């Protein structure tokens, strides 16, 4: 089995350190974090929620937050689980213990993905340069999440607050996504 204890780093750190400030849409590269894909049937959801210490939402395209953890329901039996990087091994142990007698899948994808936040009064407009979804507040409310595309990259998008989005993509697309977003926000720079 591969050693997953190697220190993780953000694939976007270099871009974040050289980004120009823009109050209309600020980008922030997220530090390394624990990311899991959980698949399970309804019988496993309650035990998984207890093991993760955050209730897994039952509605597709909805997110739930408890402290430093978040659960994003992306399909009828699929959740992306986000937590501090230091919690990764503890989460795995808790799931193993809580769900030992139930069919499920918990896959650590922490090394595969990278994330960033986009905050500001023009965050939705910047995203809409490459994302075909209607990101207006009534259509894409706070707490909504989904898989979609940004230009040519697959992303997971979650509205955390009225003017704040969480975006996650594969590490190999990280620089492409960052550069695309920087290009899209140029019209809002002072």
Q: What is the pLDDT of residues 60-98, one digit of tens each?
A: 999 999 999 999 999 999 999 999 999 999 999 999 999
Break the chain into its structural domains and give their ranges. 9-31+112-190, 33-109
Nearest to 185 by CA among 132, 109, 121: 121
Q: What separation in angstroms does the CA of 138 have from each of 117, 126, 134, 144? A: 20, 18, 9, 11
Report yes or no on whether pTM surpasses 0.85.
yes
* CATH, domain range 33-109: 3.30.70.1520
CATH of domain 9-31+112-190: 3.30.1360.120
């Amino acid at each position: 089995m591969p050693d997953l204890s190697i220190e993780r780093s953000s694939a976007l750190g270099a871009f974040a350190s050289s980004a120009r400030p823009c109050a209309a849409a600020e980008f922030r590269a997220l530090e390394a974090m624990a990311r899991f894909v959980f698949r399970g049937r309804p019988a496993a959801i309650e035990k998984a929620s207890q093991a993760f210490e955050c209730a897994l939402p039952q509605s597709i395209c909805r997110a739930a937050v408890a402290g430093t953890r978040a659960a994003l329901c992306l399909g009828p039996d699929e959740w992306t689980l986000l937590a501090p990087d230091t919690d990764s091994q503890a989460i795995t142990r808790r799931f193993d213990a809580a769900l030992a007698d139930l069919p499920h899948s918990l896959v650590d994808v922490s090394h595969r993905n990278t994330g960033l936040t986009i905050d500001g009064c023009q965050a939705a407009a910047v995203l809409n340069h490459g994302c075909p979804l209607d990101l207006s507040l009534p259509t894409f409310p706070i707490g909504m999440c989904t898989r979609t595309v940004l230009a040519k990259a697959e992303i997971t998008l979650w509205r955390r607050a009225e003017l704040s989005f969480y975006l996650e993509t594969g590490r190999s697309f990280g620089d492409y996504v960052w550069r695309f977003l920087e290009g899209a926000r140029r019209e809002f720079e002072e």
